[in-house]
Amino acid sequence: MSITATATLVLTASFVIMLLMRFPIALTIAGSTLLTIMYLDVPWVVVGQRMIKGLDSYSLLAIPFFILAGQIMSEGGLATRLINMAQLLVGAIRGGLSLVTCIACMFFGSISGSAAADASSIGSVLIPAMKRKGYKPEFTVGLTSAAAIQGVVMPPSHNMILYSLAAGGVSVSALFLAGIIPCLILLVTLMTTAYIIARKNNFPKGDPIPLKEVPRIMREGFLSMMTGVIILGGIFSGWFTATEAGAIACLYAFILTFFVYKDVPLSHSVIILKKTFRTVAMVLFLIAASDAFGWVLAYLKIPAMVTDLFLGFTDNPYIILLMINLLLLLLGAPMDMAPLILIMTPILYPVVTSLGMDPVHFGIVMILNLGIGLLTPPVGTVLFVGCAIGKVSIDKGARALLPFFFAMIGVLFLLTYVPQLSLWLPNTFLGK
């Protein structure tokens, strides 16, 4: 066996073993990289250099800004105001609270950029409310978990920034714009599925909102949604970059939460900053370790081997894209989303570009695909959050999720094979 083949085996085996031993994913990536470097007799300093290089990117500044903005708004009662806004729009329809959940998750996702934050913030309010109204507990969990996935597709998704870095600098602004139409398609699909189930089970209509409350709800809802408007409006108009949009969104969220809504005291900002720093530190270490891992992949020519493997199997782009989607769906079950983006993008990117697939289009497909993986055990982070809030077992929650899961798979393949759904806005506004 050649040195390259043996090193590839060392990298793969050590990664899988540490993953099965439940090492933290960032340590798993770093550990398997170090073991492979030792076998190849490459100086250890290379790993340190690659990790530092992985963090040397201006685009990375957007991640702490967006995480901080989402954390501020999450702590400041934003979820309740967005829910009230959504209820004003669709609450009176049969199964109205289920439709409110879908819309509220999209609203909140346009601010937090996180599916787990979406599920916990919206779910903590709406899952108990739906259960009190007679909705089946497992349905509330399945719906909320599925609707929360909109947070990874709707800008400002942190995962789009990770993909941009892993793909070698794909425009973050283009990715943000590309996620809007897919998210709206996903929203309509989930709402349609929820409405059909609600009609079948005769779930109740929502409570009417007193007329005198409407102006306040609209005002507070509009102010809350302005965070997303600032981000997207600035990018649409070309006034500022995604990183600058994140900084402005932080400032707006801070003023709105502490000086307009005043739901939490200013002293609470220390707790918010601690939570943000903890999250940012984990993300940055993961990025640094993944950059070193990616260097080892390139050194061993694994991306080229994978490209040859796919193209040697068939030259039909539709079949290759189907195989890539199935591969990502399978990998999304045992692994979390962020590390998969950082690991699989350098491997699959040469494959899709050889097919002529636009990098922005592939980014949206990959992000939705791996977002669906957040719903599938044994990892299934978002599903676990929903089940914990709804006090429902994982198996019941997973069964109730199935109609939404298959609906999302349908959206995934629609986006895969109709690239203009993702590319129209970037092409129109950024001239890609």
CB 162 within 8 A of CB 407: no
Residue 138's pLDDT band (boundaries 50, 70, 90)?
Answer: very high
Mean of pLDDT values over 75-83: 76
- Tell me which DSSP letter residue 259 carries: I
Mean of pLDDT values over 186-214: 87
> Of the candidates 349, 385, 384, which has an alpha carbon nearest to the alpha carbon of residue 366?
349
Q: Can you give the pLDDT at residue 96?
A: 84
Which tens digit of pLDDT belongs to each residue from 377-413? Answer: 877 889 988 898 988 998 899 999 999 999 999 999 9
- Name beta bridge partners: 94: 205
Query: Which residue did the predictor score with more confidence, 421 or 247?
Result: 421
Residues whose CB falls within 8 Å of the CB of residue 277, separated by 6 or more in sequence, listed in order: none
Domain map (residue ranges) of the chain = 43-430
Phi, psi angle pair for 168, to nearest 5°: 90, 25
d(CA 79, CA 106) in angstroms, rounded, equals: 11
Report CA-CA distances (Å) from 143 to 93, 150, 213, 340. 17, 12, 27, 25
Residue 281, token pair as written in the block: 């530190």
Residue 30 has pLDDT above 70, yes or no: yes
Q: Can you give the pLDDT at residue 329?
A: 92
Q: Can you give the pLDDT at residue 1?
A: 65
Residue 328's pLDDT band (boundaries 50, 70, 90)?
Answer: very high
Helix (H, G, I), strand (E, B) or coil at 205: strand
Residue 149 has pLDDT above 90, yes or no: yes
Start-to-end CA span in the chain (Å): 46
d(CA 360, CA 167) in angstroms, rounded, equals: 10
Mean pLDDT of the chain: 87
Query: Which residue did the predictor score with more confidence, 370 or 5?
Result: 370
CB 97 within 8 A of CB 143: no
Query: Which residue did the predictor score with more confidence, 359 or 279?
Result: 359
Residue 77 has pLDDT above 80, yes or no: no
Query: Which residue did the predictor score with more confidence, 144 or 47?
Result: 144
Find out whether the peptide bond into 156 is cis, omega within 30 degrees of 0: yes
The secondary structure of the chain in percent helix, strand, coil, rounded to multiples of 5, reads 80, 0, 20
CB 140 within 8 A of CB 127: yes
Q: Can you give the pLDDT at residue 420?
A: 96
> Of the candidates 97, 120, 99, which has an alpha carbon nearest to the alpha carbon of residue 108?
120
Residue 329, token pair as written in the block: 């769906």
Phi, psi angle pair for 339, to nearest 5°: -65, -35
Query: Which residue did the predictor score with more confidence, 336 or 140?
Result: 140
Q: What is the DSSP string of 69-99?
A: HHHHHHHTTHHHHHHHHHHHHHTTSBTHHHH
Query: Which residue did the predictor score with more confidence, 87 or 347?
Result: 347
Q: Can you give the pLDDT at residue 322?
A: 94
Q: Can you give the pLDDT at residue 129?
A: 84
Exposure string (b/e) for 216-240, b if CB count within 10 Å is 16 or more? Answer: ebeebbeebbbbbebbbebbbeeeb
Q: Can you give the pLDDT at residue 91?
A: 65
Residue 92 has pLDDT above 60, yes or no: yes
Residue 432 has pLDDT above 60, yes or no: no
Residue 419 has pLDDT above 80, yes or no: yes
Q: Can you give the pLDDT at residue 358?
A: 95
Residues whose CB falls within 8 Å of the CB of residue 252, separated by 6 or more in sequence, listed in order: 69, 226, 227, 230
> 25-34, 106-115, 233-242, 410-419: which range is least confident on average?
233-242
Find out whether the peptide bond into 378 is cis, omega within 30 degrees of 0: yes
CB 126 within 8 A of CB 211: no
d(CA 234, CA 228) in angstroms, rounded, equals: 10
Helix (H, G, I), strand (E, B) or coil at 109: helix
Q: Can you give the pLDDT at residue 14?
A: 92
CB 146 within 8 A of CB 408: yes
Which tens digit of pLDDT belongs to each residue from 252-309? Answer: 888 888 888 888 888 888 898 898 888 888 888 888 888 888 888 888 888 888 888 8
Percent of the chain with pLDDT over 90: 28
Mean of pLDDT values over 330-338: 85
Residue 90, token pair as written in the block: 């669709």
| Count of other CB atoms within 10 angstroms of residue 413 | 14
Q: Can you give the pLDDT at residue 416?
A: 97
